[in-house]
């Protein structure tokens, strides 16, 4: 085999490799040229000072739930609690059969999460889902002191909750500005994943605003976040909290490289309302919104796929009073350009109830200017009303809840029909959504809500039902297999 002559560069590289393999590097190669020095990688950041500064203000949160038990519970029930909650429960003497057994309450562990102190007098921020449904909430500091906390307020829309503990001169975290963050900057998270207190993980901001939340765009990072991290702070290199760790994208239930945080600017605005009023006041205009696509935009004569199509207008709502019609496309709300459904939802929600606003809509190849007065959205009352309605209507093997058509819809559908208000179960599984119109059930024309609910009540739960559904001026048959209640 013919020997190959190495160039000076190749000789240098070869010598360096051989020297490294032998356990040393020749001194000649330690001297880098200016070009090599410029190309040398920058060292990773040191987070120790950030952790020392911010760590004491991060807390562990545990919640408990009170469950009712009957006196004289059998051995199987007692064993269940002992094994799954780690709490030995002594057997009790069975009550006489002729005596009515009084229920007892037992406080059992419910979940763990994280939070951080925002004021020296004991206000703590965390996620709403960390404390949702808890009977008691306990906050544990890094110095091992534990306090029973009061839930000042909780907002499911943004997943923010405010707690209060009775203490003073507490370490507090520094609040940053989430509007100034940039993709690519280093951040750390401190929390209690799997109840491992004061765990520190690091990464970078992957994106500033992801439309994964209803009322707030979230910060996306690659910081490791797992169950128990929820409610903990996302901290920048200046030691400032810029977000509340809230969600992960996962197919396994654990961290898979993507996590999301609530921007601290929005979280603090919500927190102030919760501290002052115990709830968050949001605007509503009374419309059901669709999604815009390129094809729909072209068919409507819009220059690009922008805006939000209106699927239905609630009777008596601010939108109906202002003249909004089904099929209108909202292009601007109160001077803000609207590109997506999430943007309109947030713009309306952020508007103070009672405010008069302008709204630009696209209707029949022209822009129409409307003025409306924003009403108040009361999520709790809406949910309670929906629950009562659903319980009253024994209708729903299909999981579809409807309302009568408004005047504009009645003109468009003289034969009748109903509009879907909400879906769950079987209806949600096949892709039905609010705003869809139901024209027939099992080939029988639907006239109104009363008739439709009566038909639903008579359905055979063992047989599939066929709905004729209209969406965006197109109708199709949808097969649903009822779910037993």
Measured distance CA(3)–CA(9) in Å, rounded: 17
Q: What does the alpha-carbon distance between residue 475 and residue 453 come to, in Å, rounded to a whole number?
A: 21
Higher-pLDDT residue of 44 and 362 is 362
Domains by residue range for the chain, with CATH? 8-39 (no CATH), 43-90+103-280 (2.40.10.120), 283-377 (2.30.42.10), 379-480 (2.30.42.10)
Whether 159 sits among the annotated catalytic residues: the reply is yes
The residues, any chain, with a CB within 8 Å of residue 141's CB and separated by 6 or more, are: 56, 59, 147, 170
Pairing of β 218-221 and β 259-263? antiparallel
Taking residues 383-403, what's their average pLDDT?
56
> Which helix (H) or strand (E) covers residue 141, if one does?
none
For residues 148-161, average pLDDT: 94
The answer to whether the CB of 181 falls within 8 A of the CB of 219 is yes
Is 277 a catalytic site residue? no
Q: Exposed, middle or buried, 350 (CB in 10 Å: 0-12/13-18/19+)?
A: middle
pTM flag (> 0.85): no
More confident: 33 or 167: 167
What is the model's pLDDT at position 358?
A: 95
pLDDT of amino acid 101: 55
Cα–Cα dist 474/465, whole Å: 20
- Count other C-beta atoms under 10 Å from residue 153's C-beta: 20
Establish whether 230 is an annotated binding residue: yes
The two tokens of residue 428 are 């949600």
**Residue 229, annotated ligand binder?**
yes
| Measured distance CA(124)–CA(295) in Å, rounded | 48
Which of 159, 326, 328, 436 is flagged as catalytic?
Answer: 159
| Active-site annotation holds for 192 | no
In the predicted model, is pLDDT for residue 84 greater than 50? Answer: no
Q: Which of 66, 227, 59, 55 is nearest to 139 (CA)?
A: 59
Is pLDDT above 60 for 10?
no
pLDDT band at 397 (very low <50, low <70, confident <90, very high): confident
Place of tokens 């004991």: 122
Q: What percent of the chain has pLDDT over 90?
A: 44
Answer yes or no: is pLDDT of 86 > 60. no
Strand pairing partners for 359? 333, 370
226 marked among binding-site residues: no
pLDDT score recorded for residue 252: 66
pLDDT at 355 over 60: yes
In this predicted structure, what is the pLDDT of residue 36?
46
- Looking at residue 102, its pLDDT comes to 53
User: Which of these ranges, 5-14, 156-165, 255-264, 332-341, has the smallest mean pLDDT?
Assistant: 5-14
Q: Determine if residue 60 is labeled as part of a ligand binding site.
A: no
- pLDDT, residue 203, reads 96
Task: Give pLDDT, residue 480.
Answer: 85
* pLDDT score for 167: 95
- Per-residue tokens: 357: 């606003």
What is the mean predicted confidence (pLDDT) over 37-50? 72
pLDDT in tens, 243-289: 999 988 766 666 788 999 999 999 999 999 999 988 888 899 999 88
At 396 the pLDDT is 65
| DSSP letter (8 states) at residue 5 | P
Mean pLDDT check: name the lowest of 24-28, 165-169, 259-263, 401-405: 24-28
Mean pLDDT taken over the chain: 80
Average the pLDDT over each of 46-55, 189-198, 201-210, 213-222 and give the range with the smallest value.
213-222
Q: Which residue has the higher pLDDT, 249 or 157?
A: 157
Higher pLDDT, 264 or 399: 264
7 marked among binding-site residues: no
Residues 64-81 as b/e (b if ≥16 CB within 10 A, e otherwise) read beeeebeeebeeeebeeb
User: Which DSSP letter does residue 122 get?
Assistant: S
Which two structure tokens, joined as six digits, stand for 29?
Answer: 């190669």
Provide mean pLDDT across the span 94-113: 67
HEC string for 52-105: HHHHHHEEEEEEEEEEEEECCCCHHHHHHHHHHHCCCCCCCCCCCCCCCCCEEE
Q: Is the pLDDT of residue 417 over 70?
A: yes
Q: Which of 129, 206, 222, 404 is catalytic?
A: 129
CA 59 to chain centre: 22
Q: Could you give the CA distance from residue 359 to residue 456 in angstroms, rounded to a whole number? A: 39
pLDDT bracket for residue 296 (50, 70, 90): confident
Residue 255's Cα: distance from chain center in Å? 16
- The arithmetic mean of pLDDT across residues 322-329, rounded, is 92
The token duo for 207 is: 């994106």
* Whole-number percent of the chain with pLDDT over 70: 77
Closest CA to 72 of 101, 100, 51: 101
Local confidence band at 82 (pLDDT 50, 70, 90 cut-offs): very low
* The pLDDT of residue 115: 97
The pLDDT of 142-152, averaged and rounded, is 96
Q: What 3-state DSSP class applies to 195?
A: helix
Catalytic-labelled residue, pool 178, 230, 246, 440: 230
Looking at residue 382, its pLDDT comes to 42
End-to-end Cα separation, the chain, in angstroms: 82
Task: Report the distance separating Cα 325 and Cα 322, nearest Å.
Answer: 9
Say which range, 251-265, 310-324, 337-351, has the weakest mean pLDDT: 251-265
* Residue 87 scores a pLDDT above 70: no
Cα–Cα nearest to 143, from 197, 188, 202: 197
């Amino acid at each position: 085999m013919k020997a190959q002559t190495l160039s000076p560069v190749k000789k240098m590289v070869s010598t360096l490799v051989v020297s490294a393999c032998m356990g040393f590097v020749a001194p000649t190669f330690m001297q880098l040229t200016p070009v090599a020095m410029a190309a040398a990688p920058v060292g990773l950041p040191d987070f120790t000072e950030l952790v020392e500064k911010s760590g004491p203000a991060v807390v562990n949160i545990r919640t408990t739930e009170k469950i009712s038990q009957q006196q004289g519970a059998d051995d199987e029930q007692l064993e269940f609690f002992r094994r799954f909650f780690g709490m030995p429960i002594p057997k009790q003497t069975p009550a006489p059969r002729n005596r009515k057994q009084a229920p007892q309450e037992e406080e059992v562990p419910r979940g763990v999460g994280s939070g951080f102190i925002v004021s020296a007098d004991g206000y703590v921020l965390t996620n709403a889902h960390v404390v949702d449904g808890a009977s008691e909430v306990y906050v544990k500091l890094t110095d091992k002191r534990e306090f029973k906390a009061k839930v000042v307020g909780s907002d499911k829309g943004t997943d923010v909750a405010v707690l209060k503990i009775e203490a003073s001169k507490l370490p507090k975290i520094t609040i940053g500005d989430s509007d100034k963050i940039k993709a690519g900057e280093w951040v750390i998270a401190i929390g209690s994943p799997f109840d491992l207190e004061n765990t520190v993980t690091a990464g970078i901001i992957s994106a500033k605003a992801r439309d994964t939340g209803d009322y707030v765009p979230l910060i996306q990072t690659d910081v490791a976040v797992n169950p128990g991290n929820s409610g903990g702070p996302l901290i920048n290199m200046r030691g400032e909290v810029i977000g509340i760790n809230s969600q992960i994208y996962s197919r396994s239930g654990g961290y898979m490289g993507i996590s999301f945080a609530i921007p601290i600017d929005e979280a603090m605005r919500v927190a102030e309302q919760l501290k002052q009023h115990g709830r968050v006041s949001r605007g509503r205009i009374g419309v059901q919104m669709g999604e815009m696509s390129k094809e729909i935009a072209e068919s409507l004569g819009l220059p690009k796929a922008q805006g939000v199509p209106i699927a239905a207008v609630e009777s008596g709502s601010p939108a109906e009073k202002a003249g909004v019609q089904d099929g209108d496309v909202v292009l601007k709300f109160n001077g803000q350009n609207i590109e997506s459904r999430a943007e309109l939802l947030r713009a309306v929600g952020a508007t103070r109830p009672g405010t008069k606003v302008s709204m630009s809509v696209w209707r029949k190849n022209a822009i129409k200017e409307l003025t409306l007065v924003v009403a108040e959205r009361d999520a709790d009352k809406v949910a309670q009303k929906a629950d009562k309605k659903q319980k009253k209507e024994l209708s729903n093997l299909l999981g579809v809840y409807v309302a009568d058509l408004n005047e504009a819809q009645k003109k468009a559908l003289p034969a009748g029909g109903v509009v879907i208000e909400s879906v769950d179960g079987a209806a949600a599984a096949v892709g039905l959504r609010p705003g869809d119109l139901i024209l027939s059930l099992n080939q029988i024309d639907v006239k109104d809500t009363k008739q439709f609910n009566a038909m639903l009540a008579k359905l055979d739960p063992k047989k599939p039902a066929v709905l004729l559904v209209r969406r965006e001026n197109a109708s199709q048959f949808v097969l649903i297999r009822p779910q037993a209640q």
